[in-house]
Amino acid sequence: MNQTPRLLAAVDMGSNSFRLMIGRVDESLTASGPASQIFQVDALREPVRLAAGLTPDKYLDQPARRRGIDALRRFGDRLRDFSADHVRAVATNTLRVAKNASEFLIEAEHALGFPIEVIAGREEARLIYLGASHDAPACAGNRLVVDIGGGSTEFIIGSGYSSKLMESLYIGCVSHSRQFFPSGNVDEYAMKQAELAARREIQVLVRQYRAAGWQQAVGSSGTARALAELIELNGMNDNPAEHGITREGLERLKRALVKAENANRVKLVGLKADRIPVLPGGLSIMLGVFAELDIERMDVTDGALRLGVLYDLLGRTHHEDMRTITVDQFMRRYGVDRAQAQRVRQAALGLLAQFPEPRNERRDDNLALLGWAGGLHEIGMTISHSGYHKHSAYIATHADMPGFSKTDQARLATLLLGHAGKLGKLSGSGKFLDWRMLFSLRLAFVLCRRRADESLPEITVGQRSDGLDEGFEVRLPKAWIEANPLVEYSLAQEADEWERIGKRYKVVYA
């Protein structure tokens, strides 16, 4: 069993701010067994305002890119002594929608020194709830968590540490402020329009969320915390001793902004300079949340995405990886033949392990991804046996898969698409990072085609590279292959298929 790391780090590349959180893992023995807690030991925040750099045609402009790279370079300096498996960096809405995100991420990963995952909206919501539930006041029933970010707002209902309903809407304090309050100007009409726009977006989830119900409402992250501080410090709650966000507090804060006519001129105790440009947008969204979900009071927690990332990372070190749980759930949902999935998985992992360590990737990460592909390669059969690998890939691409980043899902889908059929559909896509993984999965699929529990002979594989001519070599016992003519025929077809995309595939019977 892996030793629990003493320090873990999370980088949250939000649409408004970039944040780094370093947590110390403390383990204790409780009445119900071992338990782990994470305590913050260091934190950095940079008001990058990445979403403010999105052009109308969804390209990140150069100043925003430079602010982001400079912040990540400083984060990377702080993380210099961390190992790769103790750091996780995630990016959210702005990098989900920016058309030049891939270009920015290459430079960003170099500056940070660690891989960066662009996560989908619902995965962001899951991690937000995980963080908030570890930091919010205890709640016996359902808990509603609302996180207003720079470019999106997440809504989650959960119980304990588990989320039940998750939604991510494209409304955020940066985008809303830019749209409705240019140059910080605020009046009654603009505030009303901004609030109505937020309510229109929120209406899509109101019926389902009210039906589920909640006993506690919690606001997480920067916008909720800033609103709560302004309301409390400026005595805007009816009860001065009350903490958190109240409906009357939001209305009084709105009146103060409208009276000042510009966010830059409002005089409020505790209003930080970097929060001024996004205050009107964040306030109007929160007013819409309270109105549509009929909330009177909301607790506030600092625990949000970055704390959730840390607890998720801790789970991975304890062999409780959410991605493994998700794969198991998908196998049940789509009625996968588990025995066959296990045969293909074991064979593929054994083949990949024979190759040298990859230069730019972690072997353990690739083995995990290949194992999940082995488990899910037949999920498309619930749709149609004909071309099922295409359906498998479609599901992996478009389904909500908790724990998986968008990059994880794209690579998984490519493996599922390529494990059978023609390779031409992949050779020019540029999506696949390691052909050895696909080679191992395809060969395992051929070797396990009989769907029977039988021992495979000793099979040796390797990678060939003769100048510009690269490919693979497979060595099998001649006596075994003579007793399995279907395998021999399938390998000949495989060799032809690889040759078509310019990669040699040599089969040696010894």
- Report pLDDT digits (tens) over 394-444: 999 888 787 787 778 888 999 999 999 888 878 655 555 578 999 999 999
| pLDDT of the residue at 116 | 95
The proportion of the chain whose per-residue pLDDT surpasses 90, expressed as a percent, equals 65
* Beta carbons of 149 and 221 less than 8 angstroms apart: yes
pLDDT tens sequence across 113-147: 999 999 988 899 999 999 998 888 778 889 999 99
What angle, 0 to 180 degrees and rounded to 10, lies between the N-to-C axes of helices 338-352 and 363-376? 150
Q: Is the pLDDT of residue 242 over 80?
A: no
pLDDT tens sequence across 23-59: 998 876 555 555 678 888 999 999 998 988 999 999 9
Q: Is the pLDDT of residue 375 over 50?
A: yes
In 221-367, where do the E strands start and end? 245-246, 297-301
* Beta carbons of 293 and 214 less than 8 angstroms apart: no
How far apart are the two ends of the chain, measured CA to CA in Å?
A: 39
Average pLDDT over residues 289-294: 97
| pLDDT of the residue at 432 | 54
Q: Between β-strands 33-46 and 469-476, what pairing exists: parallel, antiparallel or unpaired?
A: unpaired
Strand, coil or helix: 185: strand
**Longest Cα separation, the chain:** 89
User: Residues 325-330: contacts with CB within 8 Å, 24+ apart?
Assistant: 325/402, 325/403, 326/401, 326/402, 326/403, 326/404, 327/372, 327/375, 327/376, 328/375, 330/376, 330/379, 330/395, 330/399, 330/401
Global pTM exceeds 0.85: no
* Beta carbons of 375 and 341 less than 8 angstroms apart: yes
Q: Tokens 């260091």 correspond to what residue?
A: 42
| pLDDT of the residue at 241 | 65
**All residues at 6 or more sequence positions from 394 whose CB lies less than 8 Å from its CB, including other chains:** 380, 413
Q: Is the pLDDT of residue 79 over 80?
A: yes
**All residues at 6 or more sequence positions from 484 whose CB lies less than 8 Å from its CB, including other chains:** none
* Beta carbons of 323 and 404 less than 8 angstroms apart: yes
- Domains in the chain, ordered, with CATH? 7-119+308-313 (3.30.420.40), 137-302 (3.30.420.150), 321-456 (1.10.3210.10)
| pLDDT of the residue at 2 | 47
Residue 222: how many other CB atoms lie within 10 Å: 24
Q: Is the pLDDT of residue 1 over 50?
A: no
Q: Tokens 């972690």 correspond to what residue?
A: 362
For 240, 337, 382, 442, 447, the CA distances from 386, given in Å and listed in that order, are 67, 17, 11, 18, 20
| pLDDT of the residue at 323 | 83
What is the side-by-side strand order in the sheet with 116-118? 33-46, 18-30, 7-13, 87-91, 116-118
| pLDDT of the residue at 319 | 58
pLDDT band at 6 (very low <50, low <70, confident <90, very high): confident
| pLDDT of the residue at 426 | 80
Average pLDDT over residues 496-500: 91
Q: For all residues of the chain together, what is the average pLDDT? A: 89
Average pLDDT over residues 241-256: 90
pLDDT band at 178 (very low <50, low <70, confident <90, very high): very high
Angle at 357 between CA 401 and CA 77, to 5 degrees: 75
Q: Is the pLDDT of residue 187 over 60?
A: yes
* Beta carbons of 379 and 334 less than 8 angstroms apart: yes
pLDDT tens sequence across 337-357: 999 999 999 999 999 999 988
For 187, 218, 255, the CA distances from 182, given in Å and listed in that order, are 11, 29, 18
| pLDDT of the residue at 4 | 52
Q: Between 263 and 37, name the one with better pLDDT.
A: 263
Q: Is the pLDDT of residue 191 over 50?
A: yes
Average pLDDT over residues 190-206: 96
Residue 505, both tokens? 């595939």
Strand, coil or helix: 271: coil
User: 109: exposed, middle or buried (C-beta count within 10 Å: 0-12, 13-18, 19+)?
Assistant: middle
> Any idea which of 37-41, 178-182, 305-309, 391-395 has the lowest mean pLDDT?
37-41
